[in-house]
C-alpha cells in the first residue's frame, strides 16, 4: 500500500447453487488465499453466498436465513485477515428482498449496498424476486446485533490510506444508462467494485471488457469486476467467470472460462493525480463514508511497468501514433506559416535526430500547404565539432527532400567572436561550446529576416526537461515543432518516416541518422569521430524520459519513480546507476526552469509538455531541496 499501490483481486469461486454452507466455506478459503497473496481489496461475484441462479428459491425463508447466518461467519473470518472483502447475497430489509453487496473487514460487516438496476429480460427475472435499492437508505440490525447502513450511497474509506476510497455497484448497474458508479466517483470513490453474474453469449465478452475499460477511463478510477462462473446452474445459460481489473482505461488483468483469482495492483495515487488535473471532474459530497483499517505495507508489484511510456509497445499502434504526431506537428506549423505570411521556413540541419525530425515535419507542412519544398531553407553550419558523417547525412537529407541547400561555415565567425570577448579558443569550456550555438542561431534568425521567413526550432522535450540547450542559442526559434516530443519518441518518428517514405536513398540516410550517437558536436572530433556524446554527460534519455513522464504526468514522488524505474529497467541498469541519473534529473529539472519559462510556441502532441503557457507553470527559482532530500534518504 505504500506509494499508492494496492493489490486487488476479483474471485470466481466454484459454487453449489443454494448450498450456502458450502459456498461460505469456499469463499473463506479464497479469503485466506488472497490474503496470503497480499490482496487488500477482494471482490466476489453477485449473490455468491447462495448462487445467482436460485430462481424461486430466493422466496424460501430457509435460504435467506441461511445466507444471513453465513454472512456472519464470513465477517468473523475477516478478523484474521488484513483486507476488505465484498460478497453478494440476498438480504431482507423492511420486508423486501434486496440483492446486496456486503462489505466486510476486521471481523464485522461494514455496510450493504443494494443493486439499483434489476434486469427483467431474456433469461433474467430479478424483478420477480428482488426490489430495486435505488431509494433505500436505512439501517438494519444484523443477526449478531450489530447495526449497519444499507444504501446505494456508501463509500468505504481506508483510515490508514485515505486515498483508497471504494464505491460499489452490482452487475446490471454498470450496463444501465446512468450507472451508480458515476455518482460514487463524483463523491470521491476512486475504486469501483462490481459484483456481477453476467451470462456468456457470443460477442458479449468483448462488449463487457470495453464497458469496464471505458467506465474506468470515464470515471478516472480503478475498476474491479468479479463475475459468476461455472458453478452456477446451466439450465438455460452459461457463466464464464469473466473477471476484469482496469485502471483509468487500461486493462491490468483479466481471466475468463475459469474459476479462481484474477489479481493486479491499482495505483490510487496515480488515479488521484489524474483527477486533480481535470477541472471537469467536480466532486459532490453526497455519500456516507464508512471507515475500515488496513496495515500500510509495501505492495509487491507484478504489474507491467513500461520502460518507454511515451512509445506504444504494439507496432501497429506505434505506427498509427507516429503518423498522428507527425500530422499534429505539421498542422501546427502550417497554421503558423499561413498566419505570419512567411514565404520560407529556415531550419538548421546538423545531421542529428532532432533537426532531421524538424525538417521532415517542415516538409510535411509545405506539402499540406501545396508549396514547393524549395521554400524550405535548410542550413548546414559546420563548426569545430562537425564530423564528416553528420555533415554528409545533413546534405543528403536536404537534397533528397528537395529543400534549398545553404551552407555557412561558422568557424571564422566564432573565432572573431572569441577574439572580441577574449576567449582562448584552445579552452574548450562552456563559453567555447555556447559561442558556436549562439552563432548558429544568429545566422538562422538573420537568414529568416532576409528571406521573409521564420526559424523552425529543433529541440525536443527531453532536452528542455534537462535544460540541455544553449540559452538564446538552440533554445530559441520562431516555432518549435519538437518541443513536446520526447527523445525516445523522436527516434520512432524518424524510423516511421524512413519505413514509409518509399525513397531508398532517403531511407538509408535516415537509418544512418538513427544509428548516429546523440551529440551537440561542439567539441572537436577524435580521429574523425564524435567525441562529445550527450548521454555520457547527462545520462540515458530512456531513463530521463521515464522520470519525466512519471513526475509530470502523475506528480509521483522521487521514491516512487525510483521504485518503478528499478522494475522497468531491472535487466538494463543497476540500482546505483538509476539513482545517479535520477538525482541528475531532479537537479537539472529545477535548475533549468528559467529556460523553459521563455520558450517559443510549439505544438503539443501528448499529455506531457513543458510549455509555460498551459502545461508547466513552474517558478524559475523553485528549490529542489525536498525532492533531493527524499532521494538521499532512500
Q: What angle do CA 459, 460, 466 make, to 5 degrees?
A: 95
E strand or H helix at 269, and its extent?
helix 268-277
Question: Cell numbers 466454484 correspond to what residue?
Answer: 14
DSSP letters, 86-110, are EEEEEEEETTEEEEEEEEEETTEEE
Secondary structure element (H or E) that encloses residue 582, with its range: helix 575-591
Say which of 48, 77, 171, 322 is annotated catalytic. 171
Give the cell for residue 536.
555520457
The candidate with the shortest Cα–Cα distance to 290, out of 499, 109, 53, is: 109
Rounded Cα distance between 6 and 1, Å, is: 5
> Could you say which of 40, 115, 396, 595 is catalytic?
115
> The C-alpha cell of 557 is what?
514522488
- Beta strand 191-196 pairing with 222-227: parallel
Please tell me whether residue 196 adopts helix, strand or coil conformation. Answer: strand
Residue showing cell 453449489: 16
Strand order of the sheet with strand 243-247? 250-255, 243-247, 222-227, 191-196, 165-170, 154-158, 288-292
- Select which of 7, 46, 169, 583 is catalytic: 46
Ramachandran region, residue 9 (left: φ > 0; alpha: ψ -120 to 50; beta: rest): beta
SS3 call for 274:
helix
CB 57 within 8 A of CB 35: no
C-beta atoms surrounding 74 within 10 Å? 21
Active site residue 46: yes
- Which residues are CB-contacts of 426 (< 8 A; sequence separation ≥ 6)? none
Distance, in Å, from the CA atom of 473 to the CA atom of 445, rounded to the nearest integer, reads 10
Rounded-to-integer distance, Cα 406 and Cα 404, Å: 6
Do the Cβ atoms of 372 and 403 come closer than 8 Å? no
Cα angle for residues 29, 32, 33 (degrees, 5° grid): 85
Question: Which residues are the active-site residues?
Answer: 46, 115, 171
Amino acid at each position: 500500500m505504500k506509494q499508492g499501490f494496492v493489490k486487488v483481486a476479483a474471485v470466481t469461486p466454484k459454487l453449489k447453487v443454494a448450498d450456502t454452507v458450502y459456498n461460505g466455506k469456499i469463499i473463506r478459503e479464497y479469503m485466506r488465499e488472497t490474503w496470503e497473496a497480499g490482496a487488500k481489496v477482494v471482490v466476489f461475484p453477485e449473490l455468491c453466498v447462495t448462487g445467482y441462479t436460485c430462481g424461486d428459491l430466493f422466496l424460501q425463508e430457509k435460504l435467506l436465513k441461511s445466507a444471513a447466518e453465513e454472512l456472519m461467519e464470513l465477517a468473523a473470518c475477516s478478523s484474521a485477515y488484513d483486507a476488505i472483502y465484498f460478497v453478494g447475497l440476498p438480504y431482507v430489509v423492511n420486508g423486501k428482498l434486496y440483492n446486496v453487496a456486503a462489505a466486510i473487514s476486521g471481523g464485522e460487516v461494514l455496510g450493504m449496498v443494494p443493486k439499483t438496476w434489476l434486469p427483467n429480460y431474456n433469461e433474467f427475472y430479478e424483478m420477480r424476486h428482488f426490489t430495486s435499492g435505488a431509494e433505500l437508505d436505512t439501517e438494519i440490525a444484523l443477526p449478531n446485533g450489530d447495526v449497519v447502513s444499507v444504501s446505494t450511497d456508501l463509500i468505504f474509506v481506508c483510515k490508514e490510506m485515505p486515498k483508497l476510497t471504494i464505491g460499489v455497484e452490482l452487475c446490471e448497474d454498470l450496463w444501465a444508462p446512468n450507472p451508480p458508479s458515476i455518482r460514487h466517483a463524483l463523491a470521491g470513490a476512486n475504486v469501483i467494485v462490481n459484483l456481477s453474474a453476467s451470462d456468456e453469449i457470443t460477442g458479449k465478452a468483448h462488449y463487457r471488457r470495453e464497458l469496464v475499460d471505458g467506465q474506468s477511463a470515464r470515471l478516472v478510477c480503478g475498476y474491479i469486476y468479479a463475475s459468476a462462473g461455472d458453478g452456477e446452474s446451466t439450465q438455460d445459460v452459461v457463466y464464464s467467470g469473466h473477471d476484469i481489473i482496469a485502471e483509468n482505461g487500461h486493462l491490468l488483468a483479466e481471466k475468463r472460462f475459469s474459476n479462481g483469482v484474477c489479481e493486479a495492483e491499482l495505483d490510487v495515487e496515480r488515479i488521484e493525480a489524474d483527477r486533480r488535473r481535470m477541472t471537469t471532474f467536480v466532486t459532490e459530497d453526497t455519500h456516507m463514508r464508512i471507515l475500515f483499517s488496513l496495515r500500510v505495507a509495501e505492495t509487491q508489484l507484478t504489474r507491467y511497468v513500461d520502460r518507454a511510456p511515451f512509445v506504444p509497445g504494439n507496432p501497429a499502434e506505434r505506427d498509427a501514433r507516429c503518423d498522428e504526431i507527425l500530422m499534429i506537428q505539421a498542422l501546427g506549423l502550417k497554421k503558423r506559416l499561413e498566419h505570419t505570411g512567411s514565404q520560407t521556413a529556415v531550419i538548421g540541419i546538423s545531421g542529428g535526430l532532432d533537426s532531421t525530425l524538424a525538417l521532415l515535419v517542415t516538409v510535411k507542412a509545405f506539402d499540406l500547404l501545396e508549396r514547393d519544398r524549395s521554400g524550405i531553407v535548410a542550413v548546414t553550419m559546420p563548426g569545430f565539432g562537425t564530423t564528416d558523417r553528420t555533415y554528409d547525412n545533413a546534405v543528403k537529407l536536404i537534397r533528397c527532400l528537395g529543400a534549398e541547400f545553404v551552407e555557412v561555415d561558422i568557424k571564422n565567425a566564432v573565432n572573431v567572436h572569441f577574439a572580441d570577448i577574449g576567449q582562448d579558443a584552445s579552452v574548450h569550456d562552456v563559453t567555447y561550446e555556447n559561442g558556436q550555438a549562439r552563432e548558429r542561431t544568429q545566422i538562422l534568425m538573420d537568414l529568416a529576416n532576409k528571406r521573409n521567413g521564420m526559424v523552425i526550432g529543433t529541440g525536443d522535450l527531453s532536452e528542455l526537461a534537462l535544460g540541455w540547450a544553449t540559452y538564446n542559442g538552440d533554445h530559441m526559434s520562431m516555432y518549435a515543432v519538437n518541443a513536446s516530443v520526447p527523445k525516445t519518441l523522436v527516434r520512432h518518428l524518424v524510423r516511421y518516416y524512413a519505413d514509409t517514405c518509399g525513397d531508398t536513398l532517403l531511407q538509408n540516410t535516415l537509418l544512418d541518422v538513427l544509428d548516429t550517437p546523440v551529440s551537440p558536436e561542439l567539441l572537436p572530433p577524435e580521429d574523425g569521430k564524435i567525441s562529445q556524446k550527450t548521454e555520457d554527460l547527462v545520462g540515458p534519455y530512456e531513463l530521463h524520459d521515464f522520470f519525466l513522464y512519471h513526475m509530470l504526468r502523475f506528480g509521483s514522488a522521487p521514491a516512487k519513480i525510483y521504485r518503478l524505474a528499478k522494475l522497468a529497467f531491472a535487466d538494463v541498469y543497476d540500482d546505483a546507476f538509476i539513482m545517479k541519473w535520477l538525482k541528475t534529473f531532479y537537479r537539472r529539472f529545477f535548475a533549468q526552469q528559467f529556460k523553459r519559462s521563455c520558450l517559443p510556441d510549439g505544438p503539443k502532441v501528448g499529455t506531457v509538455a513543458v510549455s509555460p503557457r498551459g502545461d508547466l507553470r513552474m517558478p524559475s527559482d523553485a528549490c529542489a531541496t525536498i525532492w533531493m532530500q527524499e532521494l538521499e534518504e532512500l
